[in-house]
Chains A and B, each alone.
Chain A
Amino acid sequence: MSTQIDPSLIKGLTIGLGAIGPAVGVGLIGSAVVSAVGRNPEIQGKIMTMALIMVGLVDAYFAFVLLILFTTHG
């Protein structure tokens, strides 16, 4: 290739496409948590604990996006 790829383009595409996945994932977990608590409000603590574990698992993919974003230099 004779022209270099603009690093701003790479950064923009990374965050634009990469943040869709984790956002949808956390939204799905949130909706499941809310309906589970609505069904059985007594064990709210355990449900929240499990939900936070799942959010931690999804959060990693967003961390990879941030990693690319901040280590791409032009």
Chain B
Amino acid sequence: MIAALAAFTAEPLAPEKLFGIGPFTVTNSMLLGWITAISLIALFGAAAKASKVWPKSRLAFFVESLIDLVYGMATDTFGGDEKRARRHFPLLISLLLLILLGNLSGLLPGIDTISYHHVSLLRSWTTDLNTTLALAILSLATVHYYAVKEVGLRGYARHFFSGNLKSPLTWFIGLNEVFSEILRLITLSLRLFGVIYGGEALLFAIAALAGNFGWVATLPVILLEIFVSLIQAYLFMMLTASYIVMSTSHGESEHAGGQAARVEGTS
């Protein structure tokens, strides 16, 4: 049985190249990433065209409720400040929906299984470390850009090196803070990649172990994967929002999500 497990290989860690357009190679996860992005744009375009003051189409109704829900969550995180929530809202909802669709697309039939010469044609977009690294760089660049824009370059440096500038303790703490910021990049990307890729590898392993009953044995794991996909997409969006809040208003809402302040206020 161990030999059977060892002989079975899940998808490799790095995505495989499919074809090349000139000097630019296209991998299988990039292909599904384009399909995901185009279908999301088409969905929102159709909903935008069909929405009126009293929406009659069900698609417009659903999309508007979804946007309302996410807008409520974002406004909560920003502590009720609607202007800043509205400024950052397009980034947050794009992150949420792209990551959610990318995570869930790994569970659809045909992904990772249709292969040509042992190279699978489609691979879920967020199982690619390049993708999650790019999303993390985008989020953190937005955070730092708005931090510098809000408090200026000097205030931004003082956010790390706060206190008496002559004492070495300040420099030590400051270097630790800078290292934490860089570590945020690594954990943000590796968290999403590890969870989604590990989930897919788990599905492969359970299917290999169960043999002929794979279709029943993988059902609880698929339900777990749907749950985990939702949570990781929501978490990425909420962490980005929390970092923006924490870096632009120093210490006002210290807890992640800003909801802890509300909780302590009402109890």
Which of A's residues lie within 8 Å of B, judged by CB? 8, 36, 39-40, 42-43, 46-47, 49-50, 52-53, 55-57, 59-60, 63-64, 66-67, 70-71, 73-74
Q: Sort chain B's interface into a size bin.
A: 20 to 34
- Contact residue among B201, B262, B263, B266 (Cβ-Cβ distance under 8 Å from A67): B201
Task: Say whether, besides A56-B231, A59-B195, A66-B198, A49 and B259 are in contact (CB < 8 Å).
Answer: yes
Q: Is the interface of B mostly helix, strand, loop or mixed?
A: helix
Closest to B73 in A: A49
Q: Is there an interface contact between B198 and A56, defined as CB atoms closer than 8 Å?
A: no
Most buried by B among A57, A60, A73: A60
Q: Is there an interface contact between B195 and A60, defined as CB atoms closer than 8 Å?
A: yes
A-B pairs with lowest CB-CB distance, top 10 = A66-B198, A70-B201, A60-B191, A63-B194, A56-B235, A63-B195, A63-B198, A56-B231, A67-B198, A40-B267
Which of B's residues lie within 8 Å of A, judged by CB? 2, 6, 9-10, 13, 187, 190-191, 194-195, 197-199, 201-202, 204-205, 228, 231-232, 234-235, 238, 256-257, 259-260, 262-263, 266-267
Task: Say whether, besides A59-B195, A63-B195, A53 and B257 are in contact (CB < 8 Å).
Answer: yes
Q: Is there an interface contact between B235 and A53, defined as CB atoms closer than 8 Å?
A: yes
Q: Is the interface of A mostly helix, strand, loop or mixed?
A: helix
Q: Is there an interface contact between B197 and A67, defined as CB atoms closer than 8 Å?
A: yes
For residue A39, which residues in chain B have a CB less than 8 angstroms away from its CB? 267
For residue B190, which residues in chain A have a CB less than 8 angstroms away from its CB? 60, 64
Q: Is there an interface contact between A50 and B232, defined as CB atoms closer than 8 Å?
A: no
Q: Is there an interface contact between A50 and B260, defined as CB atoms closer than 8 Å?
A: yes
Q: Is there an interface contact between B232 and A70, defined as CB atoms closer than 8 Å?
A: no
For residue A36, which residues in chain B have a CB less than 8 angstroms away from its CB? 263
For residue A42, which residues in chain B have a CB less than 8 angstroms away from its CB? 266
